[in-house]
Structure 1
Amino acid sequence: MISIKLTKILPFLPVLLFFFSCASKPKDERIVSVSILPQQYFVEQIAGDYVKINVMVPPGMNPATSDLNTEQLKKLLDSDICFAVGYLPFETVHLYPVLEGKKKPVLIRHSDTLELIAGDCQHASAHVQHPQASVDPHVWMSPRYALMMSREIYEVLAETYPEKQAVFRANYERLEKRIKQLAQQAEQELAGKTQRTFLIYHPALTYFARDYGLEQISIEEEGKEPDPRHLKKIVDIVREKKIPLIFIQNQFDVNNANSVAAETGVQIIPIDPLSPDWMAEMENLIRILKEKLN
């Protein structure tokens, strides 16, 4: 499969778009594009198999470095809807330039309706200058925001495919109930913890930590590999606060997390914020925090 760097071929984009428009999709095919796998979960729960889902950051890829390939680009341009998170670097660098000025697919940016937190992971500002480039983009890791995203997905799907509105509504209400139960579970199981600090390599749990009164400390320093000074500071914090665990993600290098663990004895635990099974991943996260925080 050919991978294309859209930032390098923007001058030729009109030719590519014309080429793809000539190879039209089947008339009865309904395609919805999403940026990441957790969004696929929400769309699947609501729409079932009524739509085909084009995930633009595939399994194992990092939204900070992922690119569009030609097949994804064609599916994107054939889509009725594109659900973007908002400020992932993949979106700001590759997705938005392609969709600029186009009426279809309809672009929905979840972050536009959410109250965002300033972030130091520099997801967006590492690539582009944007008035809100320093926001933390990991909104889907908050059950409260996931519920709002799911509601938005339902409303847009129902408007786009009104013939299935009743089905979508019933499916959404089931998903809504499960997410509310998950949020209540997190509230109950984390409320009594006296130890409320955890370490993480890449700060993907900012909104989750805010929702449940936890403190997230990142090994990453402003979206970059930590230098020795920062690593020493992290080691000192772990010892001072008696932090029991480090979360790591498989999209990032774990060498520095291993160094901190070797120095302090803290336990390393993998999580996957980009899991295709959002509900199972969130349940796993809550279970780990319940077990490891005192």
Structure 2
Amino acid sequence: MQKYLYIILLSALTLACGSGTRNNNEGKRMLTVTIEPQRYFLDQIVGNAFAINTLVPPGSSPETYEPAPSVMVDMAKSDIYFMVGDLGFENAWSKRLAENNPNVAIVNCSEGIERMEGYDHSHDQEHDHAHDHDHHHGDITAHVHAHSGVDPHVWSSPRVVKVLVRNMLEAVVKLDPDNEETFRTNFDTLSVKIERTDSLIRDLLKDAPSKSFIIYHPALGYFARDYGLHQISIEFEGKSPSPSQIKEIVDVARKEKINTIFIERGFDTKNASVIAQEIGAEVFEIDPLRYEWDEELLRIAAILAHKANEYLR
């Protein structure tokens, strides 16, 4: 029964979506977003009222990406640029955009979201998480020394996304008040989808054999926090880990009986494979930047619940 519920939900969630470049955009006003999940949200709200341009192409990292001059030209044609809020290149490039193109409104989609600190981190071998497991569920800083970095991956949590999409809604309503009723109706439909996605994730994770997982790049911090999970990153301050750091990860993984390792699309699988072999875990490729935002989060939850075969991408 549950398997069929996933299929029905996914069909409903993707009816109005498209993952490719829009057709019939000639003559339409343009909006620009940083990443594909934002385009998914905006598509749901505005429908076909605007052409939507995504800055970071699939397979690229938004934290190291630098827009080409041609991309900046397209941005300058937009009525609004929706920045995620804390991704690497956004602040510098949005300032340049504002200086050179004052007619482009810049919206910080993370406005009003309580961001997680301690994004740049290293592993702390001394803390025995196994003796205090429940206390640290969702605490991304367990086994880490927290630094001052802010985690920018706000779209990984449906609860947080509710704030993000409302910021997008209010911006397009201000831009195009004649279509306010349509936008708000679409927003209400999107909100229901977000709630249902959240509910299904919670249902899936009830059956997860472990509340901890390893991930190469720590892109699921908000997801982990809001679903009582523990995320352990392989990457060390944006770099590949040293042999001693890999050993620390392996030691923690054995204590917590971790059997799932995630690696994001486009990242080197070598270190993840080494750790997987040491602890007997399985490596899964995920894509947190995928346009089909809801499907990918459900897929991640299904993997953690060991129900991946029931939920194939």
* TM-score relative to the length of structure 1: 0.82
Deviation at 1:102, TM superposition (A): 4.9
Mapping of 1:128-277 within 5 angstroms?
A: 134-191=149-206, 193=208, 195-277=210-292
- The answer to whether the 8 Å contact 1:34/1:54 transfers is yes
Deviation at 1:159, TM superposition (A): 1.4
The percentage of aligned residue pairs carrying the same residue is: 39
**Aligned equivalent of 2:94:** 95
Q: How has the CA–CA distance of structure 1 residues 224 and 120 changed in structure 2, closer, same or farther, with 3 Å as cutoff?
A: farther
Contact 1:87 1:133 in 2 (8 A): no
How many angstroms does 1:133 deviate by? 6.5
Query: Equivalent residue for 1:37?
Result: 36
2:259–2:279 Cα contact (<8 Å) kept = no
Partner Cα separation in structure 1 for residue 253 and residue 119 of structure 2: 20
Match of 1:17 in 2: none
Q: 1:153 to 1:182 in 2, by over 3 A?
A: same
Cα deviation 1:132-173 (Å, max 9, x = unaligned): 961000000110111211111111111111121121111111
Q: What secondary structure is seen at the aligned counterpart in 2 of 1:291?
A: coil
Question: CA contact under 8 A between 1:120 and 1:221: conserved in structure 2?
Answer: no
Contact 2:162 2:194 in 1 (8 A): yes
2:120–2:148 CA contact under 8 A, matched in 1: no
Q: Compute the RMSD of aligned alpha carbons.
A: 2.2
Q: Does 1:289 align with 2:304?
A: yes
Q: CA shift at 1:96, angstroms? A: 3.2
Deviations 1:31-74, CA, capped at 9 Å, x for gaps: 10101111010011111121111111111111122121233111
Does the 8 Å contact 1:245/1:292 carry over to 2?
no
Q: Is the Cα–Cα contact under 8 Å of residues 33 and 52 in structure 2 kept in the other structure?
A: yes
**TM-score normalised by L of structure 2:** 0.77
Q: Structure 2, unaligned stretches of length 5 or more? A: 1-24, 122-146, 309-313
1:42 and 1:150 in contact (8 A); partners too: yes
Aligned equivalents of 1:160 and 1:178: distance in 2? Answer: 25
Partner residue in 1 for 2:118: 119
Q: Distance in 1 between matches of 2:92 and 2:106?
A: 15
Stretch deviating more after TM superposition (41-50 or 101-110): 101-110
Residues in 2 aligned to 1:229 and 1:85: alpha-carbon distance in whole angstroms: 34
Distance 1:273 1:290 in 2: 18
SS where residue 199 of structure 1 aligns? strand
Confirm or deny: 8 A CA contact 2:28 2:49 kept in the other structure: no
Which whole-Å deviations, capped at 9, do the CAs of 1:187-244 have from their partners, x for residues lacking one? Answer: 2332465621011000000001110111000011122211111001111111111101
Q: Aligned in 2, Cα 1:29/1:194: closer, same or farther, shift over 3 Å?
A: closer
Between the two proteins, the alignment pairs up a number of residues equal to 259
- Asked if the contact 2:84/2:109 (under 8 Å) is kept, the reply is yes
2:295 to 277, 280, 283: 280
Q: Is the 8 Å Cα contact of residues 162 and 191 (structure 2) preserved in structure 1?
A: yes
Change in CA separation of 1:232 and 1:167 when aligned onto 2, cut-off 3 Å: same
CA–CA separation in structure 1 for the residues paired with 2:97 and 2:81: 12
Aligned to 1:46: 45
Tell me if the contact between 1:273 and 1:281 (Cα under 8 Å) persists in the aligned partners. yes
- Relative to structure 1, the CA distance from residue 220 to residue 212 in structure 2 (aligned partners, 3 Å threshold; closer, same or farther) is same
